[in-house]
Structure 1
Amino acid sequence: MIKRGLLILLALLVILLAILFFNAFTFNSRQPAIAALPAPAVDPEAIQHFQEAIRFKTISFTDSALLDTAQFFGFQRFLQKTYPTAHAHLERELVKNYSLLYTWKGKNEKLKPIVMLAHQDVVPIEEASKSSWTVDPFAGEVKDGCVWGRGSTDNKINVISIFETIEKLTKENFQPERTVILALGHDEERGGSGAKTIAKLLAQRNISAEMVLDEGGIVTRNKVPGMLKPVALIGTAEKGYLSLLLTVEKNGGHSSMPEQETALDILAKAVVNIRQHPFPPNFAPATVGFMSHVGPEMPYPEKLIFANMWMFKSVVIGIYEKSAAGNAVVRTTVVPTIFNAGMKDNVVPTKVSATVNLRLLQGDTSDKVIAELKKIINDDRVSITMSTEFLNEASATSPEEGFGYQHVQETVKKTFPETVATPFLMIGATDSRFFGDVSTNIIKFSPMIDPIGFHGIDERVSLESFQQSLWFYEKFLRQ
């Protein structure tokens, strides 16, 4: 009887292994067979233009009163002076004082237009970090094969690459088949009101775009474990953005006679409870797409795992959860970012507050997560107020079979040699989140290779990336 049972178990094991390996064997590549063409050398003047663009301190401060309008107007005059042919062919509009909207008329008015986004603004330099920079953060210096400076990666490489390309094409009297709309927001780093206004304006004009292309994923050679080829992360969706203010009010008093429980105690307990009870993990549609495109290109045993997610989903989630970036891909995240309490060291405060920031996974709405947080905190003394200034639900997912993804994928394959193109979930926010009424094909991709220092010290991007970025936008617009 025992022998028979063992034989049955062995047979089941053999069947299971056969299923696993059959699925892996038939886990076919989804990459189109397109050969890349070598990028032409970069005109030294284009590099100089990129450097000059970085020297404009188009900074978005949290306090909008600190906005240096001269820097923005100076940058816009620089674009007009540097790219005169482009400005002669494109209609230019100023939106909300500082954002720019360009229209490049296409040959065929029956075709839907495409919208290209980039943003003029950059994040500030922390005062305490200035001395840690290797170069002046606004000098636009070329060093060690890279262009250094604040905004080099986020997002002036896109702005300059697009304008260099349009200037080149208009000088050749090239006219695109489709109308091209270029939107350059001025405050993406503090909420994107400029892009939001542009999106509303286009919707009011009844413009239905074939696709929207904004910043987003990159080409990476080292950020996808197990991959031996470069991977182009083409964003097809992005997480939502929600900030909540947790407030507690309770009698304070002299610090020499504290109550058993203070307002700060209550708030601290609420925050700890939130952090100790993370939202459940799940795979967004864009992440499922990522696995189906990257999995077939991986060596064993990774290929075997991705080919059999019905069995290994919990294993893959466990791997994702081990890193901060991976964990953000598989769940709605919540983290405290600001605490406000107290005015003097010997006074127990009566009112305390904490701001917590959430990035919402598809399926987790703001109402749903607030209700869940109330259950987790389980204390009516903690009030929860939702900030509506930057509230955005998670975006819809652009279809892989749609024009937007297919066109970007094809351009990537023609631009970056032996690169695997894949859908990708953006965990950060972009201006494109406002354009849902303009197009259902919204793609988030920046054609650069492993940039360094997003929003940090020594921000820089390689000259190779700039070369490939120019080539990408040329191929994108010529097709």
Structure 2
Amino acid sequence: MEEEAAARHSDALALDHLQTLIRIPTVSRLDESLIEWSRFDEFTSTLALLYPRVHAALSLDIVDGYALLFRWHGRSPGDETVLMAHYDVVAADDATGWTHPPFDAVVTGSGADRIIWGRGTLDDKGAVAAILEAVESLLGAGFVPEHDVYLSFGHNEETAGSGAAALVRELEHRGVHPRLVLDEGGAVVEKVFPGVSRPTAVVGVSEKGMANITLTVEQSGGHASTPPRLTATARLARALVRLERRPFPASIPAPTIEMIRTIGAHSTPLLRFVFTRADTLRLPLIALFARLSDETNAMIRTTAAVTQLRASDSANALAERAVAVVNTRIAIGSSVAATLRHIRRVVRDPLVVIEASTPSEPSPVSPSTGAMWQLLSETISAVYPRAIVSPYVMLGASDARHFTSISSHVYRFTPFEMSSAERATLHAIDERMHVSTFLSGIRFYRTLIERL
């Protein structure tokens, strides 16, 4: 009874800590002059209050102004591990439509249905808190890791900022080449694969590249009452329609083939026959994935989404400059250069200037065999015994891509169960997660650290 009471108290304290951190709106913005940096200072000082053992036993360096790098000294040199998360969140300036205000960290329900609401629960303060709770509890038990463990918490992941690259430079300066790096990414999900009823723990072994492609048309302006045959905006629109009608070529990279075989082995008999023969049935699978959902379509090709449009500042003046920003996510096996070639070939208009900004190539593929993969798989199975563990290619971009320059075992997995409805709240209204999921995440990190 005493142990149960102690566990309940520990869980309640961990939840209270997460609520405290969510209530600090550490919103990162592309225009850094608009960032409330005092909130980031508040977050850092609050961590010291919530996790006194961590701050007493681990060294802390602040890199690039606000990125946090903790070092937990192990008994033996080498074979370091880096556990990553980020504490900045996307904006939620307008609370309209939210069931509960985004930074109030309201908890509703009871028992297994308890839910914590707020910006950052899933992305990514939940992971920050889970890692720190695990380390704090292990320190309380007198645990010392065999090798150094670093906790790397970025401050501008949501804006693809400079924090992660600075953290990598710091580790490289120290001569640290981790045997394992674990960042956010995949999760324990359900009903994402045809015919599979069991939950699936998808672990990112790579991630797609990214580039913002700017299409610009410049020509003479004038009054809107006498437009030329083809205005700057019309020329730009034509280019975008051409791009929409000519998607990037489709293929299935090796990690996706392995994912199809691994998860497909648990599907219905007919689908299992197809999925376990993914190597020899690539063309039918490409056709299936292209039609199945937007997510499966994104697994097999580079994607392009028009995210920003700018033209005239006046309703009755012709635009002298029309600009579109196309966010591309670049498939494994392709490149930024190949993406630009495809867009230029499809647009076929020399008056549309096409340039890439913030380019990032697809990440190297980390192995889905060997000691580090087995360690991750066994730890996931210990916490989520029903889950099928599978590699996959992460569709979004994360800070982890920077760490591939110092480690060949970089994985992307957030140890939380996420329903499709909960996943849909990432960067959206009503971000939330089950309290039990957060507590399972703490158990995952604790188990992983004990096994390192």
CA contact (8 A) 1:285 1:397 kept: no
**Residue 60 (structure 1) aligned with residue 28 (structure 2):** yes
Deviations 1:147-200, CA, capped at 9 Å, x for gaps: 110001100111001111101111111001111011101000011311110011
Aligned to 1:149: 118
Shift of 1:368: 1.2
| Cα distance, 1:85–1:126 mapped onto 2, change above 3 Å | closer
Show the counterpart of 1:45: 13
Match status 1:332 vs 2:297 = no
User: Quick check: 1:343 aligned with 2:333?
Assistant: no
Bigger radius of gyration among the two: 1
- After the TM superposition, which residues 41-120 of structure 1 pair with which residues of structure 2 at under 5 Å, given as runs? 43-109=11-77, 111-120=78-87
Structure 2 unaligned runs (5+)?
1-6
- Quote the residue 1:27 is aligned against: none
CA distance in 1 between counterparts of 2:363 and 2:64 reads 24
Q: Which residue of 2 aligns with 1:392?
A: 360
Deviations 1:444-479 (A, max 9, x none): 000001151111111001012112101101110001
Q: Does 1:131 align with 2:96?
A: yes
- Aligned amino acid, residue 253 of structure 2: A
* Structure 2 Cα separation of the partners of residues 343 and 152 of structure 1: 39
1:425 is paired with a residue of what secondary structure? strand
Kept in 1, the 8 Å contact 2:260–2:275? The answer is yes
Maintained 8 Å contact 1:236/1:424: yes
SS in structure 2 at match of 1:309: coil
1:247-306 CA distances to partner (integer Å, 9 max, x unpaired)?
111222222211111111111111111111001111122211211211222221111001
- TM-score, normalised on structure 1? 0.89
Q: 1:122 aligns with which of 80, 84, 89?
A: 89
CA contact (8 A) 2:196 2:264 kept: no
> What is the deviation of 1:133?
0.5
What letter is aligned with 1:386? Answer: A
Contact 1:117 1:212 in 2 (8 A): yes
Task: Answer yes or no: is the 8 Å Cα contact 1:185–1:192 preserved in 2.
Answer: no
Structure 2 match to 1:470: 442
What amino acid maps onto 1:332 in structure 2? T
Worse-matched range after superposition: 216-225 or 99-108: 216-225
Partner of 2:359: helix, strand, or coil?
coil
Number of residue-to-residue matches in the alignment: 435
Give structure 1 stretches of 5+ with no counterpart. 1-39
Q: Tell me how far apart the structure 1 counterparts of residues 416 and 265 of structure 2 sit (CA, whole Å).
A: 24
Q: What does residue 324 of structure 2 align with? A: 354
For 2:218, the equivalent position in structure 1 comes to 249
Partner of 1:277: 246
Does 2:417 match 1:449? yes
Match of residue 159, structure 2, among 173, 186, 190: 190
Describe the shift of the 1:421–1:310 C-alpha distance in structure 2 as closer, same or farther (beyond 3 A).
closer
Q: Secondary structure at the match of 1:282?
A: coil
Q: Within 1, Cα distance between the matches of 2:46 and 2:244?
A: 47
1:234 pairs with 2:203? yes
Give the partner amino acid of 2:16.
Answer: Q
Alignment match, 1:12:
none
Letter in 1 for 2:426: F
SS at match of 1:417: coil
User: CA contact under 8 A between 2:194 and 2:267: conserved in structure 1?
Assistant: no
Deviation for aligned residue 1:92: 0.5
* Alpha-carbon distance between aligned partners in 1 of 2:21 and 2:184, rounded to the nearest angstrom: 17
Whole-Å Cα distance in 1 between the matches of residues 321 and 203 of structure 2? 45
Matches within 5 A, 1:382-421: 382-387=352-357, 390-421=358-389
2:266 alignment partner AA: E
Q: Normalized against structure 2, the TM-score is what?
A: 0.94
Superposition deviation, residue 311 in structure 1: 4.7
Contact 1:404 1:443 (8 Å CA) reproduced: no
Does 1:368 pair with 2:338?
yes
- Alignment partners' CA distance in 2, 1:350 and 1:470: 55
Q: 2:372, 2:210 → 1: CA distance?
A: 24
1:380 lines up with 2:350 in the alignment:
yes
Question: In structure 2, what is the equivalent of residue 3 of structure 1?
Answer: none
Q: Distance in 2 between matches of 1:470 and 1:454?
A: 20
Structure 1 contact 133–457 (Cα < 8 Å) conserved: yes
Q: C-alpha distance in 2, partners of 1:74/1:255? A: 51
What amino acid sits opposite 1:415 in the alignment? V
Q: Please tell me the residue identity of whatever aligns with 1:125.
A: A
User: In the aligned structure 2, how far is the partner of 1:262 from the partner of 1:197?
Assistant: 44
- What is the root-mean-square deviation in Å for CA atoms of aligned residues? 1.3
Contact 2:259 2:391 in 1 (8 A): yes
Partners in 1 of 2:180 and 2:128 — Cα distance?
18
Q: Is the counterpart of residue 204 in structure 1 residue 176 in structure 2?
A: no
